[in-house]
Amino acid sequence: MKIHSSNTRKLALFNILVALCLAMQLTPRPPNVEFTSFFTFTVGVIFGVLYGSFFGCTIMFVNGFLSPYGFAGLIMPFQMVGMAIPGILGGVYRRLMPEQINSARFCTETAIVGAIIALIYDLVTNVGVVFYYVLSGTNIALAILTTIVCGVFFSIVHIFSNTAVFGILTLPSIKTLNNLVGGEKNG
Amino acid sequence: MVEKRTLIFLTLATLVWAISISNLAAYFYLQNTTYTKQIGENQQSLNKTASNYDELMSKYNILLSEYSVLYGSYSFPGANFTLLMGSLGRLIDNLKGNYSSLLTNQEDLNETYFMLKEDYQLVYPEGNVTGENFGGLLNEYYDLFNLLAIRELSLLLSETVTLTVNVCIDYGNGTIDWHNETRMPAGSSLFQLTQKIVEINYTYYPSMKPGHVLVDSINDKKAYTVGYSEGWSWIWYYWDGDEQDWNSGPVGCDAWMLKNGGICKWKFEHWSWP
């Protein structure tokens, strides 16, 4: 697949995606079922590593203050780093994408990437939670144990939901966005 | 031949699966270990409670038998009450010996014991002890003995059971302090709870029953009277869940035993008489 680009459309689309993603991120939803990593990954694929990681960081920064679950506090930097990773992976994936893609295979690949992204994000944010516990005076071993025990089910939910979201939505989204970005050049 | 790209994605998928399953297994293992430990501790605690209960009951039965013998002698026509006073004195001393820690730790019980001892000392030197005097002392002893037995059982229960109660302090000037989810050992009275959450001054009235304590001040807010017919006092209430209303305390606060989830209120309020 060939990725088109156009600065005007690119910028407009980027801003629209930021607004859309923020609206979805701030809307109350089941815990750990999220679309932000999918959007970040897609932005990474369409716009590249830099935009992708910036997109993820921005969303999580705003989310840290306005999230329906409350102020993120000390976890926010970890969330920003964790969400920059899908953007980076999107940019890397874009470089490795074949010219002609098989839909079923692409969906399977992106589903696996979605699961990996969820896992990495959870690991990074769990480090933040452990850090927070340790700063609060908890023993480090107990902090790690508590974080694993408390987070394991949320992590499983996250992995499954991301697998589904990435597997189903990435291909149509990338095709549509690519057409939008490349429209000026093609049209 | 499987191409490299497929292998990479297969490896990544396996990695996700392996980490997730390992986490889940670790989670269940930890939960299982925690629950097994808790069950073991609970069992141990139950065994200890059962053994302590047996001990308490044996003690209770012995003291009750001694009381029963004395009561039999007292009921027997033509009994010499002056002679029986010695046995009663030993019974009272025995009571202190058997419930010494309880009498030391619980102020109200200690005061009641002290009053009994004082009454005994008042009657004994008179020489000619009447049946009425002796009966009064015997009743006083029996009340205290039962109270001590109940408190000791409650204390035993409190080793395994903790109550959660809510208390409200209404200062009568618009200031209302809620002490929610206050944890107390089972068998605690409202007096003990109040002592725990606020600073109080109180007066002990030996003749008042049930419960001998009247709270004079809470956090330096003192009760006072204007002449003899009116004043401001600390009155306690409990929340009646069925009636959905506050009911004023029917007994002294030291006689009101707390229940789990119970709601009580201390209110500084005006009264007048008649």
Gap between the Cα atoms of B43 and B45, Å rounded: 5
Beta-bridge partners for B239 = B246
Of A96, A148, A159, the CB nearest to B26: A148
In angstroms, the first-to-last Cα distance of chain A is: 18
CATH topology of domain B162-272: Ferric Hydroxamate Uptake Protein; Chain A, domain 1 (2.170.130)
In this predicted complex, what is the ipTM? 0.75
Please determine, for residue B126, whether its predicted confidence score (pLDDT) is greater than 50: yes
Flag if A119 and B19 touch (Cβ within 8 Å). yes
Mean pLDDT of B230-246: 91
- Among B223, B158, B160, B214, CA closest to B184: B158
Low-confidence ranges of chain A (pLDDT < 70): 1-6, 182-187
Using alpha carbons, list the distances in angstroms from residue A135 to A56, A178, B267. Answer: 26, 45, 42
Gap between the Cα atoms of B104 and A99, Å rounded: 88
Instruction: Quote the DSSP letter at residue B198.
Output: S
Helix A7-26 × helix A36-47 angle, to 10°: 170
How many CA atoms lie within 13 Å of A131's alpha carbon, on the beta-carbon side?
A: 13
Q: Which residues of A touch B33 (CB under 8 A)?
A: none
Task: Calculate the average pLDDT of chain B.
Answer: 88
Rg (alpha carbons) of chain A, rounded to whole number: 17
Flag if B16 and A116 touch (Cβ within 8 Å). yes
- In tens, the pLDDT along B19-61 reads 888 888 888 888 898 899 999 998 998 898 889 889 989 999 9
Find, in chain A, the residue whose alpha carbon is nearest to that of B25. Answer: A152
Query: pTM here?
Result: 0.57
Contact A78, A127 (CB under 8 A): yes
Length of chain B: 274
Mean pLDDT of B77-85: 85
Q: Which long-range contacts (CB under 8 A, 24 or more apart) does A153-158 make?
A: A153/B27, A154/A31, A154/A32, A154/A122, A155/A32, A155/A118, A155/A119, A155/A122, A155/B20, A155/B23, A156/B20, A156/B23, A156/B24, A157/A30, A157/A31, A157/A32, A157/A33, A158/A32, A158/A33, A158/A34, A158/A118, A158/A121, A158/A122
Using alpha carbons, list the distances in angstroms from residue A10 to A87, A99, B67, B123, B195. Answer: 16, 21, 96, 103, 69
Q: Name every residue in A having a CB less than 8 A away from some CB of B.
A: 96, 108-109, 112-113, 115-116, 119, 145, 148-149, 152-153, 155-156, 159
Q: Which residues of B touch A149 (CB under 8 A)?
A: 27, 30-31
Q: What pLDDT is stored for residue B219 in this prediction?
A: 92
Give domain limits for chain B: 45-158, 162-272
Using alpha carbons, list the distances in angstroms from residue A130 to A120, A154, A163, B142. Answer: 15, 16, 26, 59
- In tens, the pLDDT along B212-231 reads 888 999 998 999 988 888 89
Find, in chain B, the residue whose alpha carbon is nearest to that of A97. Answer: B5
Q: What pLDDT is stored for residue A70 in this prediction?
A: 80
Please determine, for residue B246, whether its predicted confidence score (pLDDT) is greater than 90: yes
Tell me which of B27, B32, B33 to substitute to probe the interface with A (most A C-beta atoms closer than 10 Å).
B27
Q: Kindly report the nearest CA distance between residue B38 and chain A, in angstroms.
A: 17
Q: Please, what are the domains in chain A?
A: 7-186 (1.10.1760.20)
Tell me which of B3, B7, B9 to substitute to probe the interface with A (most A C-beta atoms closer than 10 Å).
B9
Please determine, for residue B129, whether its predicted confidence score (pLDDT) is greater than 90: no
Q: What pLDDT is stored for residue A86 in this prediction?
A: 95
Flag if A115 and B19 touch (Cβ within 8 Å). no
Q: Is the peptide bond before B210 cis (omega within 30 degrees of 0)?
A: yes
Of B12, B13, B23, the CB nearest to A152: B23
DSSP per-residue string spanning A96-141: H--SS--HHHHHHHHHHHHHHHHHHHHHHHHHHHHHHHHHTT--HH
User: What class has domain B45-158?
Assistant: mainly alpha
β-sheet with B221-222: strand ranges across:
B200-204, B213-218, B221-222
- Among B205, B85, B91, CA closest to B135: B85
Q: What pLDDT is stored for residue B155 in this prediction?
A: 83
Contact B233, B269 (CB under 8 A): yes
Contact B168, B182 (CB under 8 A): no
Flag if B9 and A115 touch (Cβ within 8 Å). no
Gap between the Cα atoms of B139 and A179, Å rounded: 97
Residue type, A107: C
Flag if A119 and B27 touch (Cβ within 8 Å). no
Q: Which residues of A touch B5 (CB under 8 A)?
A: 96
Q: What pLDDT is stored for residue A187 in this prediction?
A: 33
Q: What pLDDT is stored for residue A7 in this prediction?
A: 80
Instruction: Quote the DSSP letter at residue A4.
Output: P
Q: Which residues of B touch A112 (CB under 8 A)?
A: 9, 12-13, 16
Flag if B27 and A108 touch (Cβ within 8 Å). no
Of A108, A109, A119, the CB nearest to B16: A119
Q: Kindly report the nearest CA distance between residue A11 and chain B, in angstroms.
A: 32
Contact A55, A14 (CB under 8 A): yes
Q: Name every residue in B having a CB less than 8 A away from some CB of A.
A: 5, 9, 12-13, 15-16, 19-20, 23-24, 26-27, 30-31
